[in-house]
């Protein structure tokens, strides 16, 4: 049983898997998108998003922790100087995985993993209704107020009223020539 053991083994032993993920995350930050299998992309996303979140702190300690994983100093500098500042307002979700289909040789499902480029716009938080507002909304409307609310809905603006009457005026005009033809016969 593998209870509480997170992560996929990807058919490799521990040292090979760690080395592969280090190389993949280094290439990912260097190129900002790579094509790989679905399972590897999902594992790479976990690692990359944690490193970007760590890089957003922009301090020496986080830089040293990232250098333990990404051994290339130029890539780490790029991560801190260009990639992390893009996502200062975004609360996670820095990567996108796009399914590409199947590989020709072994029919493995391929994916493109890339950094999200569009700007993040924070959604306004909804305020929770207080208990008083909830009870007011559930109370039935008194009989006196109900007709007052319906009356404005029945009134039709003058432009709409004239537009509705115009087809009614045309219909009798069409009937009149038809009646004249019957009288002539």
Q: Comparing 110-119, 125-134, 137-146, 159-168, which segment has the lowest mean pLDDT?
A: 159-168
Average pLDDT over residues 38-45: 97
Is the pLDDT confidence value at 4 over 80?
yes
Is the pLDDT confidence value at 99 over 70?
yes
H or E stretch including 96?
A: strand 95-102
Q: Where are the domains of the chain?
A: 14-115, 131-184
Give whole-number Cα distances, 115 to 65, 94, 174, in Å. 21, 6, 67
Helix (H, G, I), strand (E, B) or coil at 10: coil
DSSP string computed for 170-185: HHHHHHHHHHHHHHH-
Estimate the share of the chain in helix, then strand, then coil, as percent rounded to the nearest 5: 60, 10, 30
- Report which listed range, 84-98, 141-155, 168-182, is most confident: 84-98
Per the prediction, the chain carries an average pLDDT of 82
Give whole-number Cα distances, 3 to 13, 89, 162, 182, 183, in Å. 19, 36, 74, 92, 95
Average pLDDT over residues 16-42: 97
Average pLDDT over residues 113-126: 84
How high is the pLDDT of residue 159? 55
How high is the pLDDT of residue 25? 97
We find that the CATH architecture of domain 14-115 is: Alpha-Beta Complex (3.90)
Provide the β-strand partners of residue 34.
113
């Amino acid at each position: 049983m593998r209870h509480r053991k997170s992560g996929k083994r990807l058919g490799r032993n521990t040292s090979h898997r760690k080395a592969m993920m280090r190389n993949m995350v280094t290439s990912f930050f260097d190129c900002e998108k790579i094509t790989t299998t679905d399972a590897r992309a999902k594992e790479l996303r976990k690692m990359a998003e944690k490193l970007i979140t760590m890089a957003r702190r922009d301090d020496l300690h986080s830089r040293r922790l990232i250098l333990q994983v990404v051994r290339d100093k130029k890539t780490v500098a790029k991560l801190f100087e260009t990639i992390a500042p893009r996502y200062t307002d975004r609360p996670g979700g820095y990567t996108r995985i796009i399914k590409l289909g199947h590989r020709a040789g072994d029919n493995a499902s391929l994916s493109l993993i890339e950094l999200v480029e569009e700007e993040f716009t924070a959604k306004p938080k909804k305020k929770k209704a207080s208990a008083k507002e909830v009870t007011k909304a559930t109370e039935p409307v008194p009989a006196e107020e109900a007709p007052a609310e319906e009356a404005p809905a029945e009134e039709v603006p003058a432009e709409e009223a004239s537009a509705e009457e115009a087809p009614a005026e045309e219909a009798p005009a069409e009937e009149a020539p038809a009646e004249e033809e019957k009288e002539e016969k």
